Amino acid sequence: MQPFVNSNKTRHQQGVAAVEFALVAMLFFTLLFAILEFGRLFYLQNAVQEVTRRAAREATVRWVTAGEEVRNLALFEAANLPAGPEITAENIVIEYLNVDQDVIGSLPDSPLDNVKACLNAETNCIAYVRVSINDATYSPMIALFSAFSVPITASTVTIPAESLGY
C-alpha cells in the first residue's frame, strides 16, 4: 500500500472550513446582536410608559418641591433607567394643572394653601398632575448599529391630584 500523499488540490483547500465558519459566525452574531438590540428597543418603549405612570403617581401624593425625589422614585431609585441609559431624570417633565387642565403659572406655597385655593375655586388650584417623557432617543449599545438611533415615543400621563403631601 502506498501512503497517503497530499496533492496540490488538498493543499489549496486547507483552511476553507475556518473561512466558512468565520463568514457564518459573522452573519450569526450580527443577527443575534440585532435581535438583542431590537428587544432592548421594545423594553425602552414599554419602560417609558411605566416610568411616566410611576412619576405621576408619586407626584400626586407629594408636594411640588419634591420633584427630584419623584423623578428618582420613577426611575426605580436609580440615576437612570436600568438597561436604558437614554432615560434619565432630565427627561421627566412634571406639570401641575388647574381644573381646566392649563399649566399653573403661580403654584400655591404649601399643600394647605392648595386646599384653600381649591375650596375657593381659584385658578392656581392644583387639580391634575401631568408627567411626560420628552426628547429621549434610543441609541444602540453595540457600535455596529450606532447609525440606527431612533427617537423613543413620547409618553404622557395625566391624573387627578390627590393629597399633594397634605
Local confidence band at 4 (pLDDT 50, 70, 90 cut-offs): low
At 53, list the grid cell: 405612570
Classify 27 as helix, strand or coil.
helix
Distance CA 88, CA 66 (A): 17
Mean pLDDT of the chain: 87
Domain boundaries, the chain: 14-160
Res 5 pLDDT > 60: no
pLDDT for 84 equals 82
Who's near 18: CB < 8 A, 6+ residues apart?
none
Using CA atoms, how far apart are residues 17 and 132, in angstroms rounded to an integer?
A: 54
Nearest alpha carbon to residue 34 among 162, 137, 163, 147: 147
Q: What is the mean pLDDT of residues 27-36?
A: 92
The pLDDT value given to residue 164: 79
What digits encode the pLDDT tens for the residues 50-105? 999 999 999 999 999 998 999 999 988 877 777 788 888 899 999 999 999 999 98
**Global pTM?**
0.77
Residue 121 has pLDDT above 70, yes or no: yes
The per-residue pLDDT for range 139-165, each reduced to its tens digit, is 888 877 778 888 888 899 999 998 877
pLDDT of residue 163: 84
